[in-house]
Every structure is written in structure tokens, then in C-alpha cells.
Amino acid sequence: MPAIVLVGAQWGDEGKGKATDLLGDRVDYVVRYQGGNNAGHTVVVGDRTFALHLLPSGILTPGCTPVIGNGVVVDPAVLRDEIAGLQAQGVDTSRLLVSPDAHLITPYHVTLDKVAERFLGKAKIGTTGRGIGPAYSDKVARLGIRVQDLFDESILRQKVAGSLALKNQILVKIYNRREIEVDEIVDSLLEYADDLRPMVADTSKVLNDALGEGAVVLLEGGQGTLLDVDHGTYPFVTSSNPTAGGASTGSGIGPTRISRVVGILKAYTTRVGSGPFPTELHDADGDRLRRIGGERGVTTGRDRRCGWFDVPIARFAARVNGLTDFFLTKLDVLTGWDEIPVCVAYKIDGRRVSEMPMTQTEFHHATPVYEMLPGWHEDISTAREFSDLPANAQAYVRYLEEATGVPISAIGVGPDRNATIVLRDLID
């Protein structure tokens, strides 16, 4: 069987957990391939709601093996707490696998993240302050600490000392903070060695062997396309590649093993943090979308910025990810509007632009060009077939499908795991 990638097609928070969970009982492995605990999924199972920050959402499906791939940065304290929290709710976490090549977020990464954001003032990026960016910076600078280093104290100590040699200079001389002791960090990290040891496996081999034996492997991005460090709205992006190309490097599965790339996108648009957002609403409609959609970040706790659907962004996501399908979520949130605007292009310096602008400057100056579609007032949360939707809701979905050029294969009509209309099987 081939591997399937699920990737956010906007700025993240599109409902990837719902999509993963929908497929979970037919998927053998669910892999997080990038990001850290700056991402989050909310998964509703019956009357229970689970907030996942680092763990793959497949952790909630009995028989499915969740995998934290080499492309993820892991805060061991967060991992321990999240596992304990799920176990307290009766969730079996014993199948979890962690790559030995995944990098660790250390206390000094968190410290540097927070002080750097404060130092930037109004120019801040809007990070979550959880040390993800500094951990990825160390990875690229070859100063990182990996999961496997916890099992060799001598190597761990050498690497921590090498990393702190520069960081302490920055903390003390630039940020006026205290120097961090090597022993302090080494001792704190070694506390997690025994917890992690049973979970660590050669995940690249495990996954490739599983594919060879006919297993279904689902690769789950942590954020959205527009937060990709290469393809997103730089510099207001994450520090890794949530786009489909990152699925291979972050999991150790070659690109020829991937045959399906599913983009998750809301029926409107949201983002958390700073950066350009052409369709953002600062009025009653924005407040209404935020309230009805429950638009508050799972990990950050921050209110999400809300706006109307943006076709150029969706087409851009289709292009850079090679999308084969869209999974449209939260269609139910749009119930109650007489008319629903859809951004079909931008105006930039008097010019109409129908694709994502090439430069940061142009995107910052882009204003939306809207087409108005008729809305609906009927409750759609119980719809399970496309024909159950009101005519105007059906027309809205078909309009987005035609405008983006990608078939919409599933539609979320409510927060419950069963509140989904499946138009085309995402596995077969």
C-alpha cells in the first residue's frame, strides 16, 4: 500500500486531527513528520474532547501505531505529560514509537525563544515561545541534541557544553540573563531517558517495512502550507516544512512511496500569530466566525484571526503540495449568513492578481476581491450524504471545488468524529 499525506492547506488549525481520526480505523500507522508542541489537534470522540499537542492523532485509535518521526522536535517534558494525561483518560499509549533522530527541545531553547521575542518588540514573529525555532536552528547549525543522545551521557554532555558555549554568551551579554550550567541541562534531560527508551525505534525502517507488507501509513503535518519555512508567508512562518515534501524528509519514507496528498482546509480562513492575512475580518462577521467556530488555538490558547475563504491560497497549496484531494472542514460554521463572500483574487497597486503574489511586499499590500455566494440557514450538522445539504451549501462546495481545481473528497459538518460527508474514499 502507498503512504498518504495529510497537510493543512491554509495557515494551520484546519481540522487535520478530524481527518486523521476519520481514517484512523483503516490506517495502521500515523506519523507526525515535523513541528513540535507548537501545533495542536482537537479530536472529539463521543462526549470526550482530546487536545493533542505533540502526539499523532492516531494515538486515539486502538490498533493504530502512532509515530513521532525524525523531523519532529520533541520537548520530553511535554511528551511525558501528554502521555500521562491520555493514560489517565484510559487511552492506550503503549504502541507509540519515537525516532532516535528526532531532535530535543531543551530548557535553553525555551528561554532563548521567549527572550528573543520580547527583544524584538513590535517586530516579533508571534512564536508560541516553546523553543521550537531555536531547536530547529540548532539542528541546522549541527548543535542539536537528539533523542538517541539521552542514552550516552558522555556524548550528551559534550553536545550540551558545545551548544551552551555560544548561547551563554548571548544570554548574558545581549539579553542580560543568567548563565545556564551544563550540569543543570544534562541532569534535567537524563530524567527522561528511561521513559523514552522503550519507545525509540528505527522508525524509517519500521515504516518502510510496513509499507512493503501492505500496511496503510498516514503522514500528518503539524501546521499549514502558509506556515512552511520555504513556501509560507515568511518570516511569519514555522521553522520546518509542513508541506508534503517535508513528509519524506521528516519520516524517512521516500517520495515514490506516497500516492495521495490530501489538503485540509476550512470553509473559511483563520490564522494565529502575526503576518499578512488578506481576508481577515475586523467586524461582527469575524467575531461571529470566531465564536461559532470555537476559534481558539489548541496549543496557544490565543484567539484565531478569522476571514473568508481565500481561493488563491487554496490554489497555491494545491500547487506546492501536489494535492490530489481536499477535505473541507467546518462548513456548518457558515450556516446563517444570507450571503457568503469568497475571495477569488487580490488587488495590488491597482492590478488584479488571481494567484499568490511572488513577493512578501506584494502580499502585504494585497486586498481581497470577493464574489458573493448565496448562503443557507438550515442546520447541516446531521447531514451524512451530500444530497442532505441545502442546495446553496452544495453550490458553495462545488464552487470551491471548481475554483481551486482540486476535488473535495470529504466535508466536515460538525465537531463530532462522525459529522462528516464522504464523497470519495481517501484510501482506495
Dist CA 374 CA 14 (whole Å): 23
Is there a contact between 348 and 414 (Cβ–Cβ < 8 Å)? no
**Residue 227 φ then ψ, to 5°:** -105, 5
> Which of 163, 166, 241 is CA-nearest to residue 7?
241
Query: Would you tell me how many other CB atoms lie within 10 Å of the CB of residue 259?
Result: 11
Phi-psi region of 141 (alpha: psi -120 to 50; beta: other; left: phi over 0): alpha
Catalytic residues: 13, 41
Partners of 374 in the beta sheet? 339
